[in-house]
Amino acid sequence: MLHPILALFLLCGLSTVSSLDNGLALTPPMGWMHWERFRCIIDCDNYPDDCISEQLFRAMADRLAEDGYLEAGYEYLIIDDCWLATERDSEGRLQPDPDRFPNGIKALADYVHDKGLKFGIYEDYGTNTCGGYPGILGHLETDANTFAEWGVDYLKLDGCYAATEGMEEGYAEMGMYLNQTGRPIVYSCSFPAYKGLDANYTAAVEICNLWRNYGDIQDSWGSVKSIVNWFVDNQGYLSQFAGPGHWNDPDMLIIGDYGLSYDESISQMTMWTMMASPLIMSVDLRTIEPEFRDILLNKDAIRINQDPLGIPGLLAKKINNVYVWTKPILPQVGDKYSYAIGFVSFREDNPIQIEVTLDSFGLDNADGYTLNNVFDPTDPVTVSVTDPITFFIDPSGGVLLEVNPVGSKKFQ
């Protein structure tokens, strides 16, 4: 059985719907964003190291550049909500909080760019951001120009305090002004998260590089599972909209924070890799423990997530509440693709043994496949499509396998 998305891909070429043509986000965007970890801490007197301020972003830019994240592909440093002053300036332009960003946003963007990183910022399509700061409604063109002048490379445009009716048109208008600036700006939309499955997803593909589909991630395994269950329930519909230049976004990686165990962190990385989701970390990079950093920096997982085909994986089966996704990736030999196969246990009781054969996923290369166990690498093993592959999986644990048709060279 051919993977359904692969079949669609082969039939229709790169994409089924014409997409935003800014040439950006050809693979899922990777970076760091402050929201899940640092929220709206604005009290710099009591929390000088954690408050939303230029020091925080400079410190994170340093860590991204110096600790291997940028090299691994995490290139966007994105400011989320709570950076703004409560009022626009006398000429009606957006301005940052003067105490927390005394040098202004342009100087911060310059600092970030000097590190070789790209710079992202948050705003909201409505009258106010979700945190209550000025939104862009009524100022779209001015704000697009301000962002371009500041050197913004990525805009997350939220949807609080806005009528859901007509949102697609409003986001399209802002996208037009962004394009008119001539500066390449990745455009992250939120109207699908506010409109649910009633959102015009075809418009999202045309307007946006990525879009939040669902509620906010919180710092717990339960939150990760509820988001993933929603994506799984709707995968048949949602997956058709994802591809190079336009991605579904299940929200940030919370690996290294308080809520996920080591096993659960491998599981989140496995699922975000399999779903071709943006890899946007939200963790204190100054204090992250090395074993969590290693998960975020796992080269094979990142390569699978960033596979140029850009085909989102689909849940192929559940085995005793262990979810199993498959995702076609490069390299291919003749018409045989490589695959990533991700297993994540949603069980809460005991580990169980998994036994699968590759032919049960429709893989049929006569010479077999070499196996790479991404988070627990061993010497390469070659299997035929009927050989049983067995392993134990812990409750809430994950196993990510890469299977390459024999004769292929690993795609770099």
Q: Which residues bind ligand GLA (CB under 6 A)?
A: 35, 80-81, 122, 129-131, 158, 216
Place of tokens 């993977």: 3
Beta carbon of residue 174, minimum distance to ligand GLA (angstroms, whole number): 16
Beta carbon of residue 162, minimum distance to ligand GLA (angstroms, whole number): 12
- Residues 78, 120: Cα–Cα separation, whole Å: 4
**Phi/psi at 289 (nearest 5 deg)?**
-75, 145
Q: Which is nearer to ligand GLA, 231 or 325 (CB)?
A: 231
Is residue 173 within 8 A of residue 139, CB to CB? The reply is no
Beta carbon of residue 385, minimum distance to ligand GLA (angstroms, whole number): 42
- Residues 52, 41: Cα–Cα separation, whole Å: 6
User: Is the sign of the CA dihedral 93, 99, 103, 107 positive or negative?
Assistant: negative
Beta carbon of residue 193, minimum distance to ligand GLA (angstroms, whole number): 6
CA distances from 265 to 120, 262, 338, 384 (A): 25, 5, 25, 31
Q: Which is nearer to ligand GLA, 192 or 245 (CB)?
A: 192
Q: Which of 49, 216, 335, 367 is catalytic?
A: 216
* 233 is known as an active-site residue: no
Beta carbon of residue 156, minimum distance to ligand GLA (angstroms, whole number): 7
- Residues 365, 306: Cα–Cα separation, whole Å: 24
Is residue 151 within 8 A of residue 109, CB to CB? The reply is yes
Which of these, 27, 24, 211, 245, lies nearest to 125 by C-alpha position? 211
- Residues 311, 27: Cα–Cα separation, whole Å: 10
Beta carbon of residue 71, minimum distance to ligand GLA (angstroms, whole number): 27
Residues contacting residue 31 through CB under 8 Å, at least 6 positions apart:
74, 75, 76, 77, 78, 118, 120, 154, 279, 280, 281
Which of these, 81, 85, 76, lies nearest to 41 by C-alpha position? 81
Q: Which is nearer to ligand GLA, 96 or 368 (CB)?
A: 96
* 216 is known as an active-site residue: yes
Place of tokens 């204090």: 287
Beta carbon of residue 216, minimum distance to ligand GLA (angstroms, whole number): 5
Residues contacting residue 131 through CB under 8 Å, at least 6 positions apart:
40, 81, 82
User: Is the sign of the CA dihedral 18, 20, 21, 27 positive or negative?
Assistant: negative
| Token output for 381 | 């093993």
Beta carbon of residue 81, minimum distance to ligand GLA (angstroms, whole number): 3
Q: Which is nearer to ligand GLA, 86 or 353 (CB)?
A: 86
Q: Which is nearer to ligand GLA, 95 or 129 (CB)?
A: 129
Place of tokens 């809430």: 396
Q: Which is nearer to ligand GLA, 35 or 74 (CB)?
A: 35
Residues paired with residue 323 on neighbouring β-strands, in sequence order: 318, 344
Position 20, amino acid: L
**From the centroid of its chain, how far is CA 239?**
14
Q: Which is nearer to ligand GLA, 211 or 343 (CB)?
A: 211
Which of these, 301, 305, 325, lies nearest to 314 by C-alpha position? 325
Q: Which is nearer to ligand GLA, 158 or 402 (CB)?
A: 158
Q: Which of 124, 158, 249, 257 is catalytic?
A: 158
Catalytically active residues, by annotation: 158, 216
